[in-house]
């Protein structure tokens, strides 16, 4: 994941959502996040006061989240990505939103927060970059530790036409790496191993066979 520490890479990262199709993908993800947050708040009967967006990257969702929740934490390992996020918020958000918007450099493996310090954590476009299932579990466990009511996790599942196609290409020797997307059952097991219940799976795309993106609404086991 070293490329996120590159200033030029960070500066052009948002280009992936600049085209008409990119904007649609971005909006679909934003809608799924809104739905997941509503679901979790209703489930817990709470209005969340703090939300952590980890990794926040270049602040793709910072403005939206900072305007919806009293306290927003955008955390990321890369100071280059964080610099883009800070600039974006400074340029686009009113002073009232900026005031409760906090950015911090942090490693998802060891977060600088006490247990249950944050109401909810959102983890978008991160776990699919972690190919080792045990490492994914360790990251999710740390997010669960600091999150009081639950965590919203962006997973990539394996039941799509594209992933099936990749499997076939890998078997035929046309693709070096086999796709690492876990099945929905494996995702549920990973989440449980990290101390969370998978309460709801929200497909980001209306036609799930066309997209592997899925948000999982989770709550702490025993809550």
* Chain positions contacting ligand SAM, by CB under 6 A: 1, 4, 55-57, 60, 76-78, 81, 107-109, 124-126
The number of angstroms, rounded, from the C-alpha of 104 to the middle of its chain's C-alpha atoms is 16
60 or 63, CB closer to ligand SAM?
A: 60
Contact 84, 10 (CB under 8 A): yes
Q: 204: cis peptide before it, omega within 30°?
A: no
Q: Is 31 helix (H, G, I), strand (E, B) or coil?
A: helix
- Closest listed residue to residue 142, CA positions, set 97, 77, 204, 83: 77
CB of residue 122 to ligand SAM, shortest distance in Å: 8
Radius of gyration in angstroms for the set of CA atoms belonging to the chain, rounded to a whole number: 17
30 or 44, CB closer to ligand SAM?
A: 30
Where do we find the tokens 């990257």?
A: 57
Tell me the residue number closest to ligand SAM, measured at CB: 57
CB of residue 62 to ligand SAM, shortest distance in Å: 10
Where do we find the tokens 């592997």?
A: 212
CB of residue 58 to ligand SAM, shortest distance in Å: 6
11 or 44, CB closer to ligand SAM?
A: 11
CB of residue 153 to ligand SAM, shortest distance in Å: 12
39 or 107, CB closer to ligand SAM?
A: 107
The pair of three-digit structure tokens given for residue 159, joined into one six-digit string = 């039941």
């Amino acid at each position: 994941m070293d490329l996120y520490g590159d200033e030029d890479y960070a500066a052009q990262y948002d280009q992936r959502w600049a085209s008409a199709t990119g904007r649609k993908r971005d909006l679909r993800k934003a809608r799924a996040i809104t739905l997941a947050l509503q679901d979790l708040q209703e489930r817990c009967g709470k209005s969340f006061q703090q939300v952590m967006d980890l990794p926040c990257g270049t602040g793709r969702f910072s403005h939206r989240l900072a305007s919806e929740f009293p306290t927003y934490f955008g955390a990321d390992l890369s100071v280059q990505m964080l610099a883009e996020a800070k600039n974006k918020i400074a340029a686009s958000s009113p002073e009232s939103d900026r005031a409760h918007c906090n950015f911090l450099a942090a490693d998802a493996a060891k977060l600088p927060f006490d247990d249950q310090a944050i109401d909810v954590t959102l983890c978008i476009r991160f776990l699919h970059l972690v190919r080792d299932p045990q490492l994914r579990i360790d990251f999710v466990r740390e997010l669960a530790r600091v999150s009081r009511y639950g965590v919203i996790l962006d997973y990539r599942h394996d039941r799509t036409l594209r992933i099936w196609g990749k499997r076939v290409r890998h078997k035929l020797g046309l693709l070096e790496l086999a796709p690492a997307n876990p099945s929905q059952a494996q995702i549920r097991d990973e989440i449980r191993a990290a101390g969370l219940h998978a309460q709801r799976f929200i497909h980001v795309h209306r036609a799930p066979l066309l997209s592997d993106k899925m948000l999982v609404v989770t709550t702490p086991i025993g809550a």
